[in-house]
Amino acid sequence: MKRYPLELTKFNTDNYLPGGHFTNTKSRDWFSTNVPNWNLVLNHFFGGKTDLRFLELGTHVGMCSNYLLDTYDCTLDTVDVTDRVEIEENGKQYYLCTKSNLQPFLDNDRCKFFRQSTTDFLLLANIDGNVKYDFIYIDASHEPDDVLSDAVLSFELLKSDGLLIFDDYGWGDCAKGIDGFIDAYDKKIEVFDKNWQVFIRKY
């Protein structure tokens, strides 16, 4: 089985196109449609700022990671339980490799990929206590208990006035976990957009 070919790589929009190292099948582009809204929100929070620290829970094939690293003066920690997605297209077997899609940023130390559960990563980060993030994106497990756990553990790592985004509010029971977090933390957060993605500022 070989890596998905660059010449077959496609995206659902041209809102954001990663560099030539990135391979992707169109059916796996679940991010580029978010870019116009993200540009508005993230530019408000981070435009012109330097030395930002971002965290992504749920790397998948790394498109959001590439966008963040290409667009902002940041370092990124990104977490997923796997770095390989196997697919079939036109009767042929391929794989999409997350680490290969992140390679330029891994090489220049702007990105660290952690192949582990989000719970393990977040517990260790909280025990360490030395890392605080300007922005956290939650897009890992969509089971409501996992979403709630990721949110609670992430919140302790988010700076005051930091940005938190949840993906897939409308996917299955994911909303139950997100709403549980919002209800529990309502005095500590501002929810300023709630559609398929939920945008939150930490007081």
Please tell me the predicted confidence (pLDDT) of residue 70. Answer: 98
CATH architecture entry for 2-202: 3-Layer(aba) Sandwich (3.40)
Confidence band, pLDDT 50/70/90 cuts, at residue 138: very high
Confidence band, pLDDT 50/70/90 cuts, at residue 129: confident
Query: How far is Cα 181 from Cα 38, in angstroms, rounded to an integer?
Result: 22
The pTM score is 0.97
Whole-number percent of the chain with pLDDT over 90 = 99
Whole-number percent of the chain with pLDDT over 70 = 100
| Average pLDDT value for residue range 44-51 | 97
- Tell me the CA end-to-end span of the chain in Å, nearest whole number: 48
Query: How far is Cα 68 from Cα 159, in angstroms, rounded to an integer?
Result: 18
Break the chain into its structural domains and give their ranges. Answer: 2-202
| Average pLDDT value for residue range 17-44 | 97
- Is residue 56 predicted with pLDDT exceeding 90? yes
User: 38: number of CA atoms within 13 Å, CB side?
Assistant: 22
Please tell me the predicted confidence (pLDDT) of residue 131. Answer: 92
26, 12 Cβ separation under 8 angstroms: yes
